[in-house]
């Protein structure tokens, strides 16, 4: 993958997403009492919308990848040390206050998208939802965003830009401002981890742990305190004073824990034989051999932002 192919892939993702939404909308208007897509099907189809365009672009340009194995060389699924995997789990938990902070700040302006889906999620057996949200989803997203996109951008020589831009595309892929707020931070930190470990396996582990613990906590809370979950599903709003307190607490936690997380990712880089890890990334800003942005990528970003803005406006009047 190179920057132009990534731009085509992302644009195709947006086109597929628009066609899917348009098709479902037309179907619901034509057959109001007809078939309605369930949450599991929705999640699976959403991931296929991400993966299919990327794999299609890779397959079309397969002649340029002679001698390279798709999963190992192009997508970066290489083995990592057990110690790196264990430290990746620690890295994941250290970043949770940062993502919670971003989520809390976004909730001042927009609704909590995941919380609104909790009712549908809890109606599905735990094992099925765990496999979809903690295994299938993370695998597809890491294959695309840390595998094809980050590693593709990285080939330009601008590792710093590759980390930021792959994180931005990961955020925009969620198609709503609430998830995009913390997905941007997670995308950047997962790309940083992928660079440190030299493998897409590490961010997949991080993604698996992050989503897995969320699913487990959701079902555990429903079992232990169903009344509390029911109240939560009815009202996600929080008084401004309470929100300020939550943000203040998590801001402090995020500063401390994220600082430690940086130390952990530097240790992972050293463990995988990458010395002067952060210095190399910073110095790469001026080493780019090609432009990361392309016309197709810009059009894809605009389409994503248009959908997110329209969705936010419609939610206000809903």
pLDDT in tens, 147-201: 999 999 999 999 999 999 999 999 999 999 999 999 999 999 999 999 999 999 9
Largest CA distance in the chain: 61
Rg of the chain over all Cα atoms, to the nearest angstrom? 20
Q: Check: CB of residue 152 under 8 Å from CB of residue 161.
A: no
Give me the long-range contacts of 96-99 (CB less than 8 A, separation at least 24).
96/210, 96/257, 97/250, 97/253, 97/254, 97/257, 97/258, 98/182, 98/185, 98/189, 98/254, 98/257, 98/258, 98/261, 99/182, 99/185, 99/186, 99/210
H or E stretch covering 282: helix 277-283
Residue closest to 48 by CA, chosen among 19, 73, 76 = 19
CA distance 186 to 257: 14
User: DSSP per residue over 203-218, as a string?
Assistant: HHHHHHHHHHHHHHHH
Domain count across the chain = 1
Residue closest to 75 by CA, chosen among 152, 148, 162 = 148
Q: Check: CB of residue 282 under 8 Å from CB of residue 195.
A: no
pTM: 0.93
CA atoms within 13 A on the CB side of 133: 24
Q: For residue 230, give its domain range.
A: 3-317
State pLDDT tens for residues 59-109: 888 777 777 888 888 999 999 999 999 999 999 999 999 999 999 898 888
Q: Is the pLDDT of residue 206 over 50?
A: yes
- What the block records as the tokens of 267 is 């240790």
The whole-number pLDDT of residue 229 equals 54
State pLDDT tens for residues 272-296: 998 889 999 999 988 777 889 999 9
């Amino acid at each position: 993958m190179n920057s132009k192919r990534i731009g085509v892939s992302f644009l195709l993702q947006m086109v597929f997403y628009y066609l899917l939404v348009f098709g479902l909308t037309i179907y619901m208007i034509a057959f109001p009492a007809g078939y309605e897509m369930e949450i599991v099907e929705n999640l699976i189809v959403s991931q296929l919308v991400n993966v299919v365009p990327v794999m299609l672009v890779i397959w079309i340009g397969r002649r340029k990848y002679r001698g390279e194995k798709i999963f190992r060389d192009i997508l970066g699924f290489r083995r990592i040390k057990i110690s790196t995997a264990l430290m990746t789990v620690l890295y994941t938990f250290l970043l949770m206050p940062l993502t919670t902070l971003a989520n809390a700040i976004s909730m001042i302006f927009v609704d909590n998208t995941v919380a609104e889906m909790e009712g549908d999620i809890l109606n599905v057996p735990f094992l099925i939802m765990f496999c979809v949200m903690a295994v299938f989803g993370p695998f597809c997203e890491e294959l695309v965003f840390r595998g094809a996109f980050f590693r593709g951008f990285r080939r330009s020589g601008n590792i710093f830009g590759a980390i930021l831009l792959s994180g931005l595309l990961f955020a925009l892929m969620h198609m709503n401002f609430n998830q995009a707020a913390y997905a941007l931070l997670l995308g950047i930190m997962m790309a940083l981890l992928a660079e440190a470990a030299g493998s897409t396996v590490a961010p997949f582990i991080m993604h698996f742990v992050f989503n897995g613990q969320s699913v487990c906590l959701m079902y555990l809370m429903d079992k232990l305190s169903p009344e509390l979950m029911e109240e939560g599903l009815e009202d996600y709003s929080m008084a401004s004073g309470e929100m300020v307190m939550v943000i203040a607490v998590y801001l402090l936690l995020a500063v401390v824990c994220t600082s430690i997380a940086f130390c952990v990712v530097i240790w992972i880089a050293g463990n995988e034989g990458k010395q002067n890890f952060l210095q190399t990334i910073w110095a790469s800003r001026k080493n780019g051999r090609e432009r990361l942005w392309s016309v197709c990528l810009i059009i894809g970003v605009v389409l994503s932002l248009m959908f997110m803005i329209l969705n936010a406006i419609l939610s206000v009047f809903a």
